Structure 1
């Protein structure tokens, strides 16, 4: 009976493994998780503000940014997989120390602000749904996120992150509950509309700073290194060039899927708030929870619940990624042992940095500083800081002494530089609006 039961269980497992959804879950990896984590509560706040303030006219930005963010994320992933080191690790080996420390410092500060804002948004969303004290929820969410990333087995934790990405579909459901005028939405998606105003360029840079953000580069590159180290036969591609074709094919599919998913969710949020809040004349949204509260009288209780629950789900995905990318950046810069597959006692400094980033983010929510007020501008700061990081990444990816026989070339390199130029132009446009 035991043998028969074991055989049935094996057949069931094989059947599940052959299902499209299971195959999809096995295929997705660092790129998909990175893309999903891009739609964190702070990003939701930015997209909600864009939709409420500018309406359906900004949908085209998400279509425009897709190839740019996919290209720069693929380049980051290739750097990690090819060299066996993350962005910070390569910076520490090939570039001046002042540049390394400046980039890592800006990344750490921006991530701490984002963590605080995300935890605050998650707590406020839960309070909206069930009531209770927000400070207690902030601490509980922080402990849950960091406890899971520190104490769960890495393979198990990655599965948790993959399943958590499903929470983002809440915004697709909310979009269909919002009675979007699809003809106008299609027009806003395919016909670019530019307004020469400070509000437009501030929103544009905030969107770019959310979709093309430095912490995403650091996280995906470091996760490629982790995935390589976990496989007994895998080696950095510089020393195992025969593995390159399969690795690059996987990276591209994973990254394209992740960035497409990220932009689909962002577009759903923009359309939802444009079709409800902007239409009703509600143009000032300070946070994702403000958007959720404003949605209820306009789109109904169901849309409000779905929108609020999505904030909590995306936060549970994003907070560990933000804290983890900060820890990877600092740890690689200091040449510490890093990696989520390591036991805490074997990478104490790395895990301490991760916990410190989360603790500082939590602390922001318990001070007079309003993390939600700083949220929008943190996205703008991210957009400005991304430019020097992207320039260094593009130079790094082109160097044969770093990338061996796999420097980034051709259309991928062109798209990477175009992405960098777009970020730089947006920053200059914002500066011009401020001074003139």
Structure 2
């Protein structure tokens, strides 16, 4: 895709703090979507504190791979799909984007279903109507809201994540037991344990997050007067890489901290009361009403809706960016609808299909958990391609990955591949 087809729309200067906390913050916060909440709730209910260690283990890996994503966008002035379209065979870019789009649409459907179910728990009424309403609301905001205002809305929605920190301190948690479980976890090779690890890793390290953060770096560069792709303005690199690192590592820390508190809350309540078969976020909220009281239930359920409103545009938007760059369309949330009709059409279509999945016979309970597993599987080829891309001087110029990021990136890729292989082996083993 030719970056000249992107037309920057200048916006008012934002405060320095908000400039630092931008794409990484929103990306990290959107990682804790209703599908992720369901996964963490299931892990806490089924295994207690036994898998809490995965959230500490995955943090440096997810932070590194997200920093690599951001660097690709900021250095080249083009997203991941655009770089694939430019520098790699067509079959490869088409395959990667197709896998991303399938995973995103399934995730969209699962998240919309969870949000509808959560609102039904809070105020009763028809869950499917709420699903349609949430879908229409997010598409309307994404298409018709001015870019700077929309980013501001997404940042404020990040506050919804703290509902899960509140939950952990409302219930009684044996923190000493939690600490020992993290330091000396009860590891297992049972299929259920392995699949749960893949689901957690697939939730924390998700392909849609890679594409979104890279594209948001491109959008932010176009929105800031005087900013350029680093291949054209290398003198901007030190300040930009520092900003990216702070933004990304704080954003990913927020993501995994919230996930940790969800696991701890459900382990201390549901697992402790023998409620181990929790498969959706709404089901977890309903169970919490009985064992932890109405306050915890309301906070937990409201958090599902807040995180969903944050994540739906990221899922639809990352897919639209990828498809748009693959076909060299004009893309970008800073554009007016008539300037990027195909791009916004993909956002609307992906969301509509996600809504439609909730009217089919597909089991939303299974869709929530398996969307996380699917993300884990899809992440492997995407990460391999990203690592190769980010080390090519023909693409990244002098800004190929430093040694630490290179090592962490390949370790993250290897860990994801190993967990997927272990899951497959556990399934087929007698």
Q: CA deviation at 1:23?
A: 6.0
1:402 aligns with 2:395: yes
C-alpha distance in 2, partners of 1:39/1:112?
17
Match of 2:141? 148
Match of 1:159? 152
Match of 1:239 among 228, 232, 235: 232
Match of 1:92 among 85, 92, 110: 85
Structure 1: gaps of 5 or more residues: 1-16
Aligned to 1:137, the other structure's residue is in SS state helix
1:348 aligns with 2:325: no
Structure 2: gaps of 5 or more residues: 1-13
C-alpha distance in 1, partners of 2:427/2:92?
27
Alpha-carbon displacement from aligned partner over 1:13-69 (angstroms, at most 9, x marks no partner): xxxx9xxxx864443100010000000000000000010111111111100000000
C-alpha distance in 1, partners of 2:182/2:229?
40
**CA 1:284–1:23 in structure 2 vs 1: closer, same or farther (change >3 Å)?**
farther
Following superposition of structure 1 onto structure 2, how do residues 185-264 of structure 1 map, counting pairs within 5 Å? 185-264=178-257
Match of 1:35 among 28, 33, 42: 28
C-alpha distance in 1, partners of 2:85/2:272?
50
Aligned to 2:50, the other structure's residue is in SS state helix
Residues 398 and 409 in structure 1, CA contact (< 8 A), matched pair in contact too: no
Alpha-carbon displacement from aligned partner over 1:239-258 (angstroms, at most 9, x marks no partner): 10000000000000000010
Q: CA deviation at 1:371?
A: 2.7
Match of 2:272? 279
Aligned to 2:49, the other structure's residue is in SS state helix
TM-score (norm 2): 0.95
Match of 1:370? 363
1:138 aligns with 2:131: yes
C-alpha distance in 2, partners of 1:151/1:269?
34
C-alpha distance in 1, partners of 2:147/2:140?
12
Residues 54 and 274 in structure 1, CA contact (< 8 A), matched pair in contact too: yes
Please identify runs of 4+ aligned residues in structure 1 that moved more than 3 A.
22-26
Q: CA deviation at 1:409?
A: 2.0
C-alpha distance in 1, partners of 2:395/2:17?
32
**CA 1:402–1:375 in structure 2 vs 1: closer, same or farther (change >3 Å)?**
same
Match of 1:102 among 78, 95, 104: 95
Following superposition of structure 1 onto structure 2, how do residues 374-389 of structure 1 map, counting pairs within 5 Å? 374-389=367-382
26-35 vs 393-402, which moves further: 26-35
When the two chains are superposed, the root-mean-square deviation of aligned CA atoms in Å is 1.1
